[in-house]
Amino acid sequence: MKKNLFIAFSVLCLPLCAFANAELVQIVAFSWDEQNEKLSPFSFGSGTAIDKDFVITNKHVVKVEGKTADFLLLCPAQAQETRSVKCNVAAGISAMHNTIDVALIKTLDPDDFLLSVRPSASIRSTDDVIRIVGFPVPDGSSAQNFGGTKTLEAFEAWQKDPTKGLNFKGDAPTTTRGKVLARYRLENTGELYTQTDARVNFGNSGGAAFDQFGSYIGIPTLKDSLGRSYILEYAQLDDWVRQYSNRKARVDNAAYSYYKKLVNIPSANVASAPTSNSVSARLRYYQSLREKTTMTSTSNSNSQTSERRTTSRRYSSPYSGYTTYQTR
């Protein structure tokens, strides 16, 4: 017998008012004021590189209350948890799904190279371990008061005086862990979610959820009033991503020109960090990083095979009447 459950959902973007993943980026969405020639950030969120120049995120990160980003700036995560981001990769929206809360972002400079994730095709079982990585921002509540504000504060200062540029260090990615509670399909849209007790906060939207073997499984998208988070499963998006993977980014040319004129992107030491604009240097860095990650993941997988669950439980969704997301 089905029970009528009324649970308040919130999307996880932030409209303005020991382990890390180099595949993660912090996303800043800008609107362009043509009359005053001004870029204004209006949303912060997270994203995950799924190819060398493509990032996947939630649609509500780049489109808020009908306002679609004219220009995006990506802030790549470093390979160590303690290292903060540098916002130096220009990007634009290349596709937004008609019904599912997902969008594709493409970098604008062909010399920018991003390390991509390894998607997992396995179906998760109850109690499997999940790790969520992203860039949450504290919302002031005692229950969900975690995340960073350095990037937000830097952009607020930059907005007051854009001529000073964006040569700053922002937030470091935040990792939370939990276990699978259930799997749900929203009947009005058909979106398939994994429910977990791993904590998320505003700003986690568009980030990454990984299984216990380090494979990418989906996008943290929603949280409910009971503190549970909902991961939009990537497997259902694979065909759509392939269909739109070659689309060019849509960006306001005036906004991009303004960015290039005012922002002096710092050149990093290519031997020690993946922030260089040299494709070959970034590629060598990420290849070495991926080799280390793969070796560690393989070792963990071999030692944990006996503990991995191969069966899955399908749950019917209690949210059959749920038609709209409640935003903050």
Q: Domain of 233: which CATH number? A: 2.40.10.120
Task: Assess if residue 325 is contained within a domain.
Answer: no
Task: Assess if residue 328 is contained within a domain.
Answer: no
Task: Tell me the pLDDT tens digit for each residue of 182-211.
Answer: 998 887 778 899 999 999 988 999 999 998
Identify the helix (H) or strand (E) that includes residue 235.
none
Pairing of strands 216-224, 174-185: unpaired
Task: Assess if residue 284 is contained within a domain.
Answer: yes
Task: Assess if residue 106 is contained within a domain.
Answer: yes
Structure tokens at 116: 């991509």
* Cβ–Cβ under 8 Å, residues 27 and 137: no
Could you tell me the residue range of the domain that residue 151 belongs to? 14-264+278-307
What is the overall mean pLDDT for the chain? Answer: 75
How many separate domains does the chain show? 1
User: What single letter denotes the amino acid at residue 277?
Assistant: N
Task: Assess if residue 7 is contained within a domain.
Answer: no
Residue 193's closest CA among 9, 20, 327, 4?
9
* Cβ–Cβ under 8 Å, residues 90 and 259: yes
What global pTM score does this model have?
Answer: 0.75
Q: How many C-beta neighbours within 10 Å does residue 22 have?
A: 23
Task: Assess if residue 322 is contained within a domain.
Answer: no
Task: Tell me the pLDDT tens digit for each residue of 91-142.
Answer: 999 999 999 999 999 999 888 888 888 887 666 778 889 999 999 988 766 5
Under the banding of pLDDT at 50, 70 and 90, the label for residue 250 is very high
Tell me how far the alpha carbon of residue 272 is from its chain's centroid.
24
- The stretch 251-260 carries a mean pLDDT of 92
